[in-house]
């Protein structure tokens, strides 16, 4: 029997806020979290702006100095966001807790993993030799360690499945966790993603692939659906959602934030970095999620778009929405929160899923900031520059990743 799945907790570390309410307030107000890079010199780099996490103190999330000192940033961000989400959910695996540890899982991924650690240890290998490599290098760097650390720290003994699908990673972790609970394999799963790839090697690699904005004006660099767009802006952080079986949540009196009710997952099978130009596979993922969620033409639809600010993504994503919705695409209330956060890679799907849940909760569509010159090929309602009050009935978030990975999740208000 298919079970209903709801959201009972959320946590976020992002360029626009290090807790859910701060994050949401800044999105609604159109606050740009992008700035000139502060963590390393950029004189020799082709891109000089990023969405860095600011004013982050691991101790605020119960993270000990020894853990913070030894772990990669992507793991630290993940543990912090998970701490907030679990605290909000009220779930506990203690002896007197309210969930069996074997029924509480972790589906948390990263597009790249411990990139900072890999970069630093590689420098040591080249300059000083093998004997100076940290014995913690491998377990700190591998991309599954964020999920492992969350499970270890919270006694979560259920299914633990990291996902790596580039920029679609945490949309897929949420979707696959939803299916695991829906089909009875767990009572609750913490699902999300984390990324900390804003390092010189990461900037150089994405920039030389012609993917990054070269703008040196932080307030006019991430420009989704804008005719003046010139590439995405790197972001960093983590986002986590607690997905829980509805009857389990109801029985313990949990606050239900939304119901997750649809998921689609396809692959372009086309190109390593470019989206498929006929948009059929991207559209199929979105249609799967909408069909499973019971979408009808009477629904008021909000879409948190992938909206990266690259030339191909934005025009083809617009084409995708039209392919799925027909003329109803012009009635959808769409935005790209990447205009404020930058592109958080493996964390971006979960960050945007949280924004979708909050848009449903409050009936507010956040803006796509700096949309002063819309691309004529991107002619849908992308909520330019100012948030809009809308009585949304269904919200979806779609993500597209290098390798042709497509994902979409759908949410409705909890009844």
Helical residues (DSSP H) of 261-372, grouped into ranges: 280-292, 311-325, 338-341, 348-362
CB neighbours (10 Å) of residue 114?
A: 26
d(CA 239, CA 79): 10
d(CA 368, CA 215): 18
d(CA 302, CA 359): 8
Token pair of 363 as six digits: 């009936």
Residue closest to 310 by CA, chosen among 406, 183, 175, 401: 401
Residue closest to 353 by CA, chosen among 266, 241, 246, 265: 241
Strand partners, 193: 109, 239
> Among all residues, which ones are annotated catalytic?
167, 306, 343
d(CA 111, CA 89): 26
| Contact call for residues 31 and 16 (beta carbons, < 8 A) | yes
User: Which residues contact residue 89 at a Cβ distance below 8 angstroms, ignoring those fewer than 6 apart?
Assistant: 8, 9, 188, 242, 244, 254
| Contact call for residues 250 and 326 (beta carbons, < 8 A) | no
Strand partners, 188: 104, 244
Q: Label residues 312-341 b or e (16+ Cβ within 10 Å = b).
A: ebbbbbbbbbbbbbeeebeebbbbbbbbbb
């Amino acid at each position: 029997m298919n079970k209903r799945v709801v959201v009972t907790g959320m946590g976020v570390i992002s360029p626009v806020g290090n807790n859910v309410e701060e994050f949401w307030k800044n999105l609604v107000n159109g606050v740009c979290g992008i700035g000139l890079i502060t963590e390393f010199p950029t004189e020799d780099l082709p891109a000089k702006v990023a969405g860095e996490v600011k004013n982050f103190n691991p101790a605020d999330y119960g993270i000990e100095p020894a853990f913070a000192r030894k772990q990669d940033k992507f793991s630290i961000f993940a543990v912090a966001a998970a701490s907030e989400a679990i605290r909000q959910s009220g779930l506990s695996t203690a002896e007197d807790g309210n969930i069996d540890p074997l029924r509480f899982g972790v589906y948390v991924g990263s597009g790249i993993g411990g990139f900072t650690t890999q970069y630093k240890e590689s420098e040591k290998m080249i300059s000083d030799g093998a004997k100076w490599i940290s014995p913690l290098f491998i377990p700190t760097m591998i991309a599954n360690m964020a999920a492992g650390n969350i499970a270890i720290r919270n006694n979560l003994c259920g299914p633990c499945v990291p996902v790596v699908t580039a920029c679609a990673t945490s949309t897929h972790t949420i979707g696959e966790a939803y299916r695991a609970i829906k089909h009875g394999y767990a009572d609750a799963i913490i699902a999300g993603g984390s990324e900390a790839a804003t390092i010189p090697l990461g900037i150089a690699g994405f920039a030389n692939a012609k993917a990054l904005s070269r703008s040196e004006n932080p307030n006019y660099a991430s420009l989704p659906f804008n005719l003046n767009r010139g590439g995405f802006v790197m972001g960093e952080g983590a986002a986590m959602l607690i997905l829980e079986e509805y009857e389990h949540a109801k029985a313990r009196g949990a606050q239900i934030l939304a119901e997750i009710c649809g998921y689609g997952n396809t692959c372009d099978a086309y190109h390593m970095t470019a989206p498929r130009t006929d948009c059929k596979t991207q559209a199929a993922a979105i249609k799967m999620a909408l069909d499973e969620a019971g979408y009808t033409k009477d629904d008021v639809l909000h879409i948190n778009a992938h909206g990266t600010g690259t030339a191909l993504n934005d025009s083809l994503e617009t084409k995708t929405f039209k392919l799925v919705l027909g003329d109803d695409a012009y009635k959808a209330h769409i935005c790209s929160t990447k205009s404020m956060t930058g592109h958080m890679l493996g964390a971006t799907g979960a960050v945007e899923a949280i924004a979708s849940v909050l848009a449903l909760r409050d009936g507010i569509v956040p803006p796509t900031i700096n949309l002063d010159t819309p691309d004529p090929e991107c002619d849908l309602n992308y909520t330019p520059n100012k948030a809009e009050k809308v009585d949304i009935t269904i919200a979806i978030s779609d993500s597209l990743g290098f390798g042709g990975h497509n994902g979409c999740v759908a949410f409705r208000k909890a009844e």
